[in-house]
Amino acid sequence: MKNNISPVSGFLNMYKPPGPTSMDVLRQVKQHTGHRKRVGHGGTLDPQAEGVLPICFGQATRLMELLVDSGKEYRMEVRLGATTTTYDGEGDVVNTAPTSDLTLELVEDALEAFRGTIQQVPPMYSALKVEGKRLYKLARSGIEVERQPRAVEIHKLEILEFASPSLVLLAESGRGAYMRSLAHDLGQALGCGAYLSGLVRTRSGAFRSEDAITMEDIIGEAQDEWQRHMYSVDYPLLDMKGLTIGRDAERLLRAGQSVALPPSMSAYVRYMERHRAYSQDGRFVGVLSFDLPKNRWLPHKLFSLDSPSPYAPNIQGVA
């Protein structure tokens, strides 16, 4: 590929199959598209997991942290009655126990303790670092270190299927939650052990699995045909309110200055609430924060995009 490829900015909603790592998928995308700089992914999936893996291009890489922080939805397959070294099906079985006495009611009662804000110990087979060393590398060397529990959010945890020893769950979580640890801890609570036997990430922020594409979908396309699958930079931000700004406001914001809020808008904007801002010709300008005491908009994250966005609002926000 030539190195003088025109830069692009936006997202691909890729579907990672089981087997390759998230970085493997990212390398494939870079190789096929020819875009090797300022390309990243929005949240690692374990090799045996599958599902949504957003790929960020160009200026969209500035929103990678937002994608990592965004809510995730999973379809979890849990095998009850056994515990493994890795908390999933890749590890060695270390304990087994009968599950014949388990009922739907018992499982549902146990799940209640795992909803909301919970304390979770990360698995040894994870990419977290302890004293500069990846936990999974220590684990592969037979070294186990103490891990401190962390507070994570489990927004939803529902039973989809139950036929002991098989359990299928729908889970929605915030940042940093490990589904393998969730399966393991549930098994401990039930007294029979459990491990994660399958995992599909069905949503990452605004990106959903039913809309995702595979490498096979884009490999056979012409040079730039793959770009028709791209989402605009502002797509993951559509849960924010949008406003339109004038040229003078845009100039001031790009200079790092604040701009005034018209009195007509002050009634519904909360302190430090963030909005999507667009130019009068529909370009996505960036994200603004509102300083309520000063009645001023502050630049939070600005972009330099040439094309209008399909999500630009039809309202006039600030002068």
Residues annotated catalytic, as ranges: 46
R_g over Cα of the chain: 23
Dig out the tokens for 172 from the structure: 């929605």
Q: Which letter, b or e, does each residue of 103-116 get, where b requires 16 or more Cβ atoms within 10 Å of its Cβ? A: eeeebeebbeebee
- DSSP code at position 263: G
Residue holding tokens 């309202």?
315
CB-based contacts of 9, cutoff 8 Å, min separation 6: 57, 58, 59, 60, 233, 303, 305
Dig out the tokens for 183 from the structure: 């399966």
Dig out the tokens for 311 from the structure: 């999500």
Dig out the tokens for 100 from the structure: 């014949």
CB-based contacts of 178, cutoff 8 Å, min separation 6: 87, 120, 122, 123, 126, 152
The answer to whether the beta carbons of residues 287 and 275 sit under 8 Å apart is yes
CB-based contacts of 139, cutoff 8 Å, min separation 6: 85, 86, 124, 125
The answer to whether the beta carbons of residues 88 and 48 sit under 8 Å apart is yes
> Using CA of residue 276, residue 279, residue 285, residue 291, what is the dihedral sign?
negative
Give the three-state DSSP class for 284: strand
- Long-range contacts (CB closer than 8 Å, 24 or more residues apart) made by 264-273: 265/317, 265/318, 266/295, 273/241
